[in-house]
Amino acid sequence: MELFVNQVLAGISTGAIYACMALAVVMIYQAIDHLNFAQGEMAMFSTFIAFQLMQWGVPYWWTFPLTLIISFAGGVAIERALFKPLGNAPVLVHVAGFIALFAIINSVAGLTWDWTIKQFPTPFGNAPFLGSQLISTHQAGMIGITFLLLVLLFIFFRFTRVGLAMRAAAALPESAKLVGINVSWMIALGWGMASGIGAIAGILIAPVVFLEPNMMGGVLVYGFASAVLGGLSSPFGAVMGGFLVGVFENLVGTYIPGVGNELKLPIALALIVTVLVLKPGGLFGRVAQQRV
Amino acid sequence: MSTMLSIKDLRAYYGQVQALHGLTLSINEGAVTTLLGANGAGKTTTIRAVCNMVRSTGSIEFQGKSLIGKSTESIVQYGIAHVPQGRGTFTTLSVEENLQLGAITRKDKKAIGEDIEKMYAYFPVLKQRYQQQAGTLSGGEQQMLAVARALMLRPRLMLLDEPSFGLAPLVVRDLFGILKKINLEDKVTILVVEQNAQLALELAETAFVIETGRIVMSGNAKEIASNEDIRKSYLGY
């Protein structure tokens, strides 16, 4: 029993990493209706910006908002410069754009800050959380911030006019224009917000996985998986998906003989495929209902 | 009566294909005008050109201001509401959110709330379903929602693209009755594009008949409806 509880706790703490990234994935999905493969690299780059600011002697609590603002502006700029000109090009063209962006950001980060791994500080410390060896105060803080972000996003999308306009612009751009919404800027805003959330994810993940240009590779795959599992239309689902993937992966590794660490990943992903076959909208996603 | 919308020598293109060949028409303030014609004549293209949703040249003036080259979302700010073909319902959002979106360019929060209540009075079925996903509404209910969404703008001019499409005859009667009421009580000028010529001519005061991208006939709706030659050759009933 104690082993079980411990493994669940350990799963929750890795799940927090996935949940954080999944939130950023859902955010961009809400804005542009597809996934951004360069999302992880954008988050990594934001984390390097935070790292650089701290190197220059900016205190942590100034670094945090500054990085957010820079990342938001960067996200908007990427959309304006790269994806707005693509306009109504087919999805595959956009995918090629995402992959190019991925490679460019990865290389630029490598050239600027080299490929060695770096320590990244945490504001929460690394002491055991409430006496548990399995969750550190950093991971507890990360879970807290993930939920705070979730609540803020919920309020933004549900109760503000801009949030409503963004949902409308993503769902049906043509109709959105006809009620007077500037769809093009809504998409740019979505990019900015996704980039900002990615920056928060990166800053929270870096103390755990260490900072280096490839730090997000695995995390983004899990983030995608979590978002898809929970439902791409639901920020809440994405966070829950993150924790579920984390916990499930740990339990499978512990209890199914012969799985161990090596096979955790494929088994977790197999579970996701199974869930999606049974429930294509994800566990918490709203399936669009339509009368025919 | 003064002219509200004046279209002159309008040419519109889909890629290489020219859909309108120098179309001219004008709409009087406070009137209900209908644009009739067969499939592919250019009815939809005409009102899409007003909102700059197709590439077009010529002159389109709304109350003396040119609309050519203005973006679709900025044209809404003039008080032009467009109910598109297929209704343009935000199917994944709730009925009430759809109504709020109609007023998204307005700042007067309190009046928006009152207008939503007013829409529920016009269309009681929407009130019963206000929290439901709009995609679950029937075709007729979605058309009512689309009209209500357009009215939430408090428009001066409302453009309707085939509001009768796919609806049962009784539902169409209801809907046209409400359009008449909106025209009289809320002083909304209406341009309605229709294939159902008989009904549209009952509602409208003025009619234009369009054929292969040109206006071929215009005049008083009653006269056009009573002229058997026109009816048989252009309107098919």
Check which CATH number belongs to the domain holding A222 and give it. 1.10.3470
Q: For strand B189-194 and strand B65-66, is the pairing parallel, antiparallel, or unpaired?
A: unpaired
DSSP lists the bridge partners of residue B14 as B17
Q: What's the rounded mean pLDDT across residues B101-112?
A: 93
Q: How many CB pairs under 8 A join A and B?
A: 82
| A164: chain B residues, CB-CB within 8 Å | 93, 97, 100-101, 104
Given CATH 3.40.50.300, say whether it is the number of domain B3-93+153-235.
Answer: yes
Q: Please give, rounded to a whole number of angstroms, the shortest distance from the CA of B53 to a CA of chain A.
A: 9
Of A161, A167, A289, the CB nearest to B135: A289
Residue A175 and residue B89: Cβ atoms within 8 Å?
A: yes
Cα–Cα distance list, B167 to A140, A289, B43 (Å): 56, 20, 19
With beta carbons less than 8 A apart as the criterion, state whether B67 and B61 touch: yes
The answer to whether A172 contacts chain B (CB < 8 Å) is yes
Say whether pLDDT at A37 is over 70. yes
pLDDT of B234: 72
Structure tokens at B137: 């509404």
pLDDT (0 to 100) of residue B27 = 94
Confidence of residue B110 (pLDDT cuts 50, 70, 90): very high
Q: Is the pLDDT of residue A290 over 60?
A: no
Q: Do residue B91 and residue A233 have CB atoms under 8 angstroms apart?
A: no
Give the separation between CA A166 and CA B187, rounded to whole angstroms: 32
Q: Do B104 and A180 touch (CB under 8 A)?
A: yes
Residue to test with chain B: of A177, A184, A233, A286, most B Cβ within 10 A: A177
> Which residues neighbour A97 within 8 Å (Cβ) at sequence distance 6 or greater?
A82, A83, A86
Residues of A in contact with B139 (CB under 8 A): 291
Q: Which pLDDT does position B35 carry in this prediction?
A: 94
Closest to A168 (Cβ–Cβ): which among B101, B139, B153? Answer: B101
Residue A290 Cα, gap to closest chain B Cα (Å): 5
Give, to the nearest 10 degrees, the angle between helix A217-230 and helix A183-209: 120
What are the pLDDT digits (tens) for A198-215?
999 999 989 988 899 999
| Pair A182, B73: CB distance under 8 Å | yes
> Residue A123 domain-assigned?
yes
Would the pLDDT of B180 be above 90?
yes
The whole-number pLDDT of residue B197 equals: 87
Nearest neighbour of B101 by CB, restricted to A179, A233, A286: A179
CA closest to B148 among chain A residues? A179
CB distance A181–B73 less than 8 Å? yes
Average pLDDT, chain B: 91
- Tell me whether residue A288 is in a domain: no
Residue A286 resides in a domain: no
Q: Pick the residue with more confidence: A90 or B33? A: B33
pLDDT at B128: 93
Mean pLDDT of A126-145: 81
State how far residue A35 is from chain B, nearest Cα, in angstroms: 19
Count how many residues are written for chain A: 292
b vs e for A266-279, b when ≥16 Cβ sit within 10 Å of the residue's Cβ? eebbebbeebeeee
Residue B225 has pLDDT above 70, yes or no: yes
pLDDT value of residue B228: 82
Distance CA B60, CA A124 (A): 62
| CA dihedral sign of residues B63, B68, B74, B75 | positive
**pLDDT confidence of residue A28:** 87
The DSSP-derived string for B113-176 is HHHHHHHHHH-HHHHHTTTSBGGGS-HHHHHHHHHHHHHTT--SEEEEE-TTTT--HHHHHHHH
Answer whether residue B233 shows pLDDT above 70.
yes
Residue with tokens 């980060």: A109
Give B94's contacts in chain A (Cβ within 8 Å).
Answer: none
Q: What is the pLDDT of residues B163-177, one digit of tens each?
A: 998 888 888 998 999
Q: Name which of B51, B93, B136 is nearest A291 (Cβ-Cβ).
A: B136
Q: Flag the least confident range among A32-36, A121-125, A147-151, A283-287.
A: A283-287
Give the model confidence (pLDDT) of B6-33 as tens digits. Answer: 999 999 999 889 999 999 999 999 999 9
How distant is the Cα of B231 from the closest Cα of chain A, in angstroms?
33
Q: Do A78 and A101 form a contact (C-beta atoms < 8 A)?
A: yes
Quick check: A131 pLDDT over 80? no
Beta strands in chain B (DSSP E): 3-14, 17-28, 32-36, 55-62, 65-66, 80-83, 157-161, 189-194, 206-211, 214-220
- In this predicted complex, what is the ipTM? 0.90
Residue A174 touches partner B, C-beta closer than 8 Å: yes
For testing the chain B interface, which of A175, A234, A291 should be mutated: the one with the most B CBs within 10 Å?
Answer: A175
On chain A, the residues whose CB falls within 8 A of the CB of B131 are none
Q: How many domains does chain A have?
A: 1
Q: Do A171 and B73 touch (CB under 8 A)?
A: no
**B141: chain A residues, CB-CB within 8 Å:** none
Confidence tier at A34 by pLDDT (50, 70, 90) = confident
Q: How confident is the model at residue A186 (pLDDT cuts 50, 70, 90)?
A: very high
User: pLDDT tier at A51 (50, 70, 90 boundaries)?
Assistant: very high
Chain A CB contacts of B105 below 8 Å: 179-180
Indicate if the pLDDT at residue A291 is higher than 60.
Answer: no
Nearest chain B CA: its distance from A287 CA (Å) = 8
Q: Residue B66 pLDDT more than 60?
A: yes
Q: Taking residues B127-151, what's their average pLDDT?
A: 93
Domain ranges of chain B: 3-93+153-235
Chain A from 230 to 269: CB within 8 A of any B CB: 233
Nearest to A289 among B53, B74, B133 (CB): B133
Q: What mean pLDDT do residues A44-71 have?
A: 94
Model pLDDT, residue B1: 65
The answer to whether the Cβ–Cβ distance between B149 and A180 falls below 8 Å is no
- Structural domain contains residue A249: yes
Give me the domain span that covers residue A130. 2-278
Residue with tokens 């998204």: B104
- The answer to whether residue A284 is domain-embedded is no
pLDDT-derived band of residue A287, with 50, 70 and 90 as boundaries? low
Which has the higher per-residue pLDDT, A271 or B208?
A: B208
Query: Which sign, positive or negative, has the C-alpha torsion A124, A128, A131, A135?
Result: positive
Q: For residue B53, name the pLDDT band (cuts at 50, 70, 90).
A: very high
Which residues from B are below 8 Å from A172, CB to CB?
88, 90-91
Indicate the residue of A167, A174, A291 with minimum beta-carbon distance to B135. Answer: A291
Q: Would you state the pLDDT for residue A125?
A: 80
